[in-house]
Structure 1
């Protein structure tokens, strides 16, 4: 998603947030590097898949601690589950969410179904 954003918005400032999942609801912030003036900007938060919403909630919480107003966050993803959308809006009703597809539900492993499989595996060709 970042490459497409860079191609369409040349010179855009891009920050990075890396969140590692632990089971179905634990999330750990591994890395963040954000523009120093992020609090005064509108922020496009990019994540290809919104499943449980836990990673998105962690990322949005980080942005809020950096001073970004909730209403200045636009969360962009490709596929979302209804459960993830509900979880994000329960915590952050003022953000904007843009998705291309809302799939049916989550399976027992908290994967969006029908979904597209594990995005990281598909992107890095590590799927068996």
Structure 2
């Protein structure tokens, strides 16, 4: 999603990697690779899918802890579940969320249904057995 954002917005982009290790529906374990202090005053958080909202909330907490106020953050996603988006909005009510589509359901495993499939598999042309 970052290359598309670069093509749309003309101002300089600082790319900071926020990644996650997902073990269960209830708790993403995230790690960050950010400069010690923010070189920007506005952040676009790109997350292709918001399922439970846990990963987005963990990333937002890191961004806020980093020194960026939530009103200077925009969350951009392709697809979200109604439940996950509600979770993010409950945690960060002033957050500006841009989402292209909303699916109504999550499976018991916390996967958007019907969804798009695994985003990583789609981006990197990999198939999980």
TM-score (norm 2): 0.89
1:56 aligns with 2:56: yes
Who is 1:28 aligned against?
29
Offset of 1:7 from its aligned partner? Answer: 2.2
Who is 1:75 aligned against?
75
Q: Give the length in aligned residue pairs.
A: 127
Offset of 1:125 from its aligned partner? Answer: 1.7
Quick check: 1:27–1:54 contact (8 Å CA) kept in 2?
A: yes
Q: Distance between the aligned counterparts of 1:87 and 1:30, measured in 2? A: 21
Who is 1:7 aligned against?
7
Unaligned runs of 5+ in 2: none
Who is 2:17 aligned against?
16
Offset of 1:34 from its aligned partner? Answer: 4.4
Higher mean C-alpha displacement, 69-78 vs 25-34: 25-34
1:99 aligns with 2:91: no
Quick check: 2:38–2:68 contact (8 Å CA) kept in 1?
A: no
Higher mean C-alpha displacement, 102-111 vs 88-97: 102-111
Deviation string, structure 1 residues 42-68 (Cα, Å, up to 9, x no partner) = 111000000000000000000111111
Using a 3 Å threshold, how does the CA distance of structure 1 residues 108 and 14 change in structure 2: closer, same or farther? same
Who is 1:114 aligned against?
114
Deviation above 6 Å: which 4+ runs of structure 1?
A: none
